[in-house]
Structure 1
């Protein structure tokens, strides 16, 4: 099975603290999964009070969606996170990277004025590709 290939060219600055990949190439014939924005809502509908709790639950929600498609975090090629404060990006990235086991996807993190519900502290969406 051909794998997704991460691209971090030697001729440019490396990804900040190796927290992401500059690009990820998906081989021909790979199955693709586009995951809608996820937040840290638990299966019972409750929401953790902290950014850390919401981020961990959001990542677990991603895990469940990936598994339902027969995929894993190693298949994630792009993730975009929406944070309320710039300092939240470091907290999010540290928790997120525990799930990628040294194979970080291409990543974008954006600071926004607010999310759809006032209690949400973070939201992210992702794209995954499983090589045939």
Structure 2
């Protein structure tokens, strides 16, 4: 008969493997490069034990299918669509680790978009972002499309 010894080790809280929701993503701006020119971080680190969500590019369609005319309003609605998709998956905007903006028309002002980003990322560092001006999107009336990647803690395995 073989006997196995089991040793239990209690780790300090600093070594916890299941960090609080949204708190595990580290966003930073290294001092070795220029500060971001807008509201974004240069890097986001996704810890082990997370579930990655890759969102399809979102255009500015409202839930009823209508589309705002201005690029500013389309961008704000696209971000709201991202927020709603994340909520349906049990995630929050603070869980976003990357945003990519594809714009077919440059906004006259970024005030509305910046206000929406400030609202979405209140209390946390904004995610890394990329802004790409393109010749066109899937349909001519679409002036902006935004895609996102988010990371949320993976559910605990069933016992």
TM-score (norm 1): 0.89
1:93-115: per-residue Cα shift (whole Å, max 9, x none)?
A: 51442211242111111000111
| Unaligned segments of structure 2, at least 5 residues | 1-18, 155-159
Matches within 5 A, 1:5-84: 5-17=26-38, 19-84=39-104
Q: State the SS of the aligned residue for 2:84.
A: helix
**Structure 1 residues 10, 90: closer, same or farther in 2, change over 3 A?**
farther
| Unaligned segments of structure 1, at least 5 residues | none
Q: State the SS of the aligned residue for 1:88.
A: coil
| Partners of 1:20 and 1:107 within 8 A in 2 | yes
| Partners of 1:47 and 1:54 within 8 A in 2 | yes
Whole-Å separation in 1 of the counterparts to 2:89 and 2:50:
13
1:16-46: per-residue Cα shift (whole Å, max 9, x none)?
A: 14x1111100000111100000000011111
Count of aligned positions: 130
The offset of 1:12, in angstroms, is 1.4
* Mapped pair 1:100 → 2:121: yes
Whole-Å separation in 1 of the counterparts to 2:78 and 2:66:
12
CA RMSD, 1 decimal: 1.8
| Partners of 1:36 and 1:126 within 8 A in 2 | yes
Q: Answer 1 or 2: which has greater helix percent.
A: 1
The offset of 1:84, in angstroms, is 1.8
Q: Answer 1 or 2: which has greater strand percent.
A: 1
- Structure of greater Rg: 2
Counterpart position of 2:107: 88
